[in-house]
Amino acid sequence: MDKSSLEYALIRGLEIPYMGVKVKQPTINDIDEIGLLRFSSYKSTFIILKEHLQLTDELIVITKDKSFFETLFIIDGYSNNVDSNTILYTDMLIMSLIFFLGIDINKNMIEKNMENKCISIANTEGQNIFILNNDNFEEFSELIRLVCNCDKLEIDKDTNTNVVQYADADVQKIYEDLIKQHKKDEEEKKKANDITLSDVIGSICINENTKYNYKNIEELTIWQLFYQFTAMFTKENIDIVKSQYVSGNYTFDKVPDLDWLKKVKVKLPKDNKLIK
């Protein structure tokens, strides 16, 4: 798909064709029907990294040179032998595919192959119409992150790494307490600057310059929602600057801070296979 076609599909809320299947763009109504928690779990496999997985020492060794996708199958194979009641990553991935691809389980058959490490979707005749494997998982994940308007999760940095050691125990304690407080402050600052889905919906619905309210916003896709959010506040900030300039009160120290807009990921992927 070329860039203009992809952008058009995103802004129109259309399904996006990918290797024989179509990825649907989740709407607010879709999230309302399944719940925010379940929606978060459906997209979680496409945003976490290998470093986020809870691996035993044995699995760390086994999966050392394996990709994230391969590691999921290895973990599940190991978990099946230890605890059959464990929720498997591959099962969650199948549920995610059912949601994002709009799979009708009465018309399509979806299976996972633990040996070959893949998940296949077949039609009623038993013919495979899509196979998710190690070769296309990262590209497919990027498409899911695109329609969900999110990025991969960051890896938390351990601020206690290479901690300076002082001979005086009291000084050491003060130093380590300062490090902990700094980490806590950074986490709270990051949390305060995060823009949640609820923040976006609320901001759009209470804004006097939008036609959307808490009822008619349900048909917007996630991408459309954030696009609307960004466009709305960009226009407001431009209006502020124009008002300052016309009134003669324009100064550089009164220019609205637009840095927070960088957190709104309304963008198209660059330099990847999704854009042909």
Residues 116-130 have pLDDT tens digits of 999 999 988 888 999
Residue 35 to residue 42: CA distance in whole angstroms: 11
Give 173's contacts (C-beta < 8 A, 6+ positions apart): none
Residues 33 and 85 in one domain: yes
Residues 16 and 127 in one domain: yes
Residues 33 and 96 in one domain: yes
Average pLDDT of the chain is 79
The H-or-E segment that residue 23 falls in is strand 21-23
Contact yes or no for 272/145 (Cβ under 8 A): no
54 located within any domain: yes
Residues 12 and 120 in one domain: yes
Residue 41 has pLDDT above 50, yes or no: yes
113 — pLDDT class (breaks 50, 70, 90): very high
Residues 132 and 229 in one domain: no
83 located within any domain: yes
Indicate the DSSP class of residue 3. Answer: H
174 located within any domain: yes
248 located within any domain: yes
Residues 128 and 177 in one domain: no
123 located within any domain: yes
Contact yes or no for 15/24 (Cβ under 8 A): yes
A 10 A CB-CB count for 167 gives 6
**Lowest-pLDDT range, 5-19, 73-87, 160-174?**
160-174
160 located within any domain: no
Residues 138 and 177 in one domain: no
Contact yes or no for 266/146 (Cβ under 8 A): no
User: CA-CA distances (angstroms) from residue 216 to 32, 87, 196, 267?
Assistant: 13, 36, 19, 24
Which among 131, 134, 122, 19 is positioned nearest to 73, based on CA atoms?
134
Residues 104 and 204 in one domain: no
**Lowest-pLDDT range, 19-33, 213-227, 261-275?**
261-275
Number of domains composing the chain = 2
- Per-residue pLDDT of 229-269, as tens digits, reads 887 766 555 454 445 545 555 555 554 454 544 545 445 55
Residues 97 and 138 in one domain: yes
77 located within any domain: yes
Residues 32 and 91 in one domain: yes
Residues 60 and 125 in one domain: yes
Mean pLDDT value across residues 198-210: 84
Which 3 state secondary structure label does DSSP give 228?
helix
More confident residue, 175 or 214: 214
Domain assignment of residue 211, given as a range: 169-264
pLDDT at site 176: 73
A 10 A CB-CB count for 28 gives 18
| Residue that is last in its domain, among 147, 177, 204 | 147
Residues 178 and 130 in one domain: no
Give 14's contacts (C-beta < 8 A, 6+ positions apart): 8, 25
159 located within any domain: no
Which among 261, 275, 274 is positioned nearest to 231, based on CA atoms?
261
| Residue that is last in its domain, among 147, 179, 205 | 147
